[in-house]
Chains A and B, each alone.
Chain A
Amino acid sequence: MLLRSLLAAVVAFWLGIAQAQAPIKIGAFLAVTGPAASLGDPEQKTLELYVEKLNAAGGVLGRKLQLVSYDSAGDAEKARTFVRRLIEQDKVDLIVGGTTTGETMAVVQLVEQAGMPFISLAGAVVVIEPVKKWVFKTPHTDRMACERIFLDMRSRRIERIALISGSGGFDKSMRGQCLNVAATYGVKVIADETYGGGDTDMTAQLTKIKNTAGIQAVLNAGFGQGPAIVTKNYKQLAISAPLYQSHGVASKEFIKLAGDAAEGVRLPAAAVLAAEQLPADDKQRAVSVNYKREYETRYKQDISTFGGHAYDGLMIAVEAIKRARSADKSKVRDAIEATKGFVGTGGVVNMSPTDHMGLDLTFFRMFEVKKGNWVPVQ
């Protein structure tokens, strides 16, 4: 009898250890290829790098992390398939991913039904508004980009502007948000032009803008090659009004593509873009400089804010697991929602039941391109 209970105790002990040592599975679906590859690729690399680093440091709660990642190519249909696989086959503990707004919105229903904590890396405000129980996000929203740009314009007494945007989901969403909040900041949109996804020349649209009387600035919403062509055409036409871009082009790649024409372009972005130029007492300096150094040493490639979003997502998840003392889905969800004072590359995150992003405008900084580099605007 004694022997049997002793045996049972030993078995239970071993099972307990086995349980404790099963890895915590982090699921991801990212647009590593396809039109949003310039965003998804650094996100994937960042997740790989930091899962490795966390494991080298002993893992989380004594358990290793395991990354299960799929390339959705920015396709909403593929994203659904992969998320279903992550939930049903891979049985991951939480999901960090969803490069584009389209992919993210396509899987919201799935994660809500499955009760799966999900930290999205997509930009648009619809991801967190209205609040969805299981869905969080790390990047600043497109509405905040508009608000930050309009704040900068107001401080420069710019009141009449032109909008030019692409035809992608992010472009359209940001255009809508900007039109919505413009009046609040005393900005009037007096020209509103668009271009197609594969367009090679935007001088016609910009000529129209140039000839609209009273334009004081131009705002371009989009990511990829479109904004770079707009910037080059802008220079060619010698338009004197300042050009504002969105956080969709917040990487060195944009400056490389647009070349000299990028000089003077302004955009809102996370502080990590100019990590070394942050003052020593800046809260975000340490995390930004570290991330930049570690990523660039490993991949020999300039960082972008997009990889930073993935870093923030992973670290918020890891801290939440630590605070919850388990990888139990609903405990982790509650812990993510209770994130307070987390310092990431995107800013200081204070989440709440009504705010599943937790960032405010103060951590969205204006940058200007000077001599081929991002320089913070004072």
Chain B
Amino acid sequence: MSAQFAQYVLSGLTVGAIYALVALGFSIIYNASHVINFAQGEFVMIGGMATVSLVAIGWPLPFAIAAAVLAAAAIGFALEKFAVEPARGASVVTLIIITIGASILLRGLATLVWDKNIHPLKSFSGDVPIQIGGATLLPQSLWVMGITLAIVLLLTWFFGRTLLGKALLATSHNRLAAQLVGINVRHVLLASFGLSAALGAVAGILVAPITFTSWDVGVMLGLKGFAAAILGGLGSGPGAVLGGIALGVIEAMGAGYISSAYKDVIAFVIILAVLFFLPSGLLGKRSTDRV
């Protein structure tokens, strides 16, 4: 029984860490612009597909990964520059709709640049399962969890200790005030898109050996990552991680102990319940309106 429980926890952590990485990308762009970037899932796809195709033409894995992350960041910049920035006077809803359009465009382009097949990627360090108290874990899951942790630490340092990071935070708190103290808000927005695109790509590469990758892999991962970001509190880094892990573990427990047919239902009912009592998510900023 306890081995079974341990397996559900490990399964939940594996999936949860993936959701957390995608959720982090949502949070960064939300922080800088209050836009929910629905093309986040497509960055996940681009990271995975670019790595797979570069490895296929003979590049060593580390170079392929670096190139894929850079390519995704460049596409993130381009998305901001050519789609979001020209509409900067528009409302947030308009911008969100633009990102939905961008996601459809990117998926379409992916089917042209690559193909419509599902592709595997070799695990970074083998496929021999690690035994932990009767449960098993793939080495790749450790990579996912470890890098998620490293990225969270890096982001904490970035937002707390660097000028650009602080500028990003300042912009998220009050855009006008940030502009008044001399922060170039447009650059901040550009940086946030690049950063979250790179993060999405990292997620896509890390999970490809576990889930495979294909032109439409971003749809489902994007949706789950979005749910995790909402659960944890939009705009909060630790919240995104907590939300992702919680969603993953709830899904695994639901499938294991109640019914796999209602796994997603259970997860979303719990999210709804949490949001009912904590409308801004587990770790989100409590917003107060001046009356």
Contacts and interface: CB of A to CB of B under 8 A. Distances in A.
19 contacts: A32-B116, A37-B116, A37-B117, A38-B118, A193-B260, A196-B264, A198-B219, A200-B211, A201-B11, A201-B14, A207-B4, A208-B256, A237-B7, A237-B129, A238-B136, A253-B118, A256-B120, A257-B118, A257-B212
Given A198-B219, A225-B212, A236-B138, A260 B127 contact: yes
B180 interface: no
Contact of A229 (B211, B252, B260): B211
B120 A257 contact: yes
A350 interface: no
Interface of A: 32-35, 37-38, 41, 193-201, 203-205, 207-208, 211, 224-225, 228-229, 232, 235-238, 253, 256-257, 259-261
Contacts of B214: 225
B8 interface: yes
Contacts of A204: 7-8, 11-12, 251-253, 255-256, 260, 263
Given A224-B118, A257-B120, 9 more contacts: A33-B116, A35-B216, A196-B264, A200-B18, A228-B118, A228-B120, A256-B120, A259-B120, A260-B127
Nearest to A200: B211
Contact of A201 (B4, B111, B120, B210): B210
Contacts of B12: 204
Nearest to A197: B220
Interface in B22-51: none
Contacts of B14: 201, 203
Contacts of B253: 204
Interface string B238-280: 0000000000000111011000110110000000000000000
**Chain B interface extent, by class:** 35 or more
Contact of A236 (B118, B129, B220): B129
A interface secondary structure, majority: helix
B283 interface: no
Given A37-B116, A207-B8, A237-B7, A198 B221 contact: yes
A43 B136 CA distance: 40
A236 B251 CA distance: 19
A200 B260 contact: no
Contacts of A35: 216
A378 B11 CA distance: 37
Contact of A207 (B7, B15, B120, B264): B7
B195 interface: no
A219 B267 CA distance: 26
Contact of A200 (B111, B118, B129, B210): B210
B251 to A, nearest CB: 7
Nearest to B123: A259
A204 B11 CA distance: 6
Contact of A194 (B11, B138, B221, B260): B260
A238 B14 CA distance: 18
Contacts of B116: 32-34, 37-38, 41
B198 to A, nearest CB: 21
A219 to B, nearest CB: 15
Interface string B197-240: 00000000001001110101001110110000000000000000
A41 B12 CA distance: 35
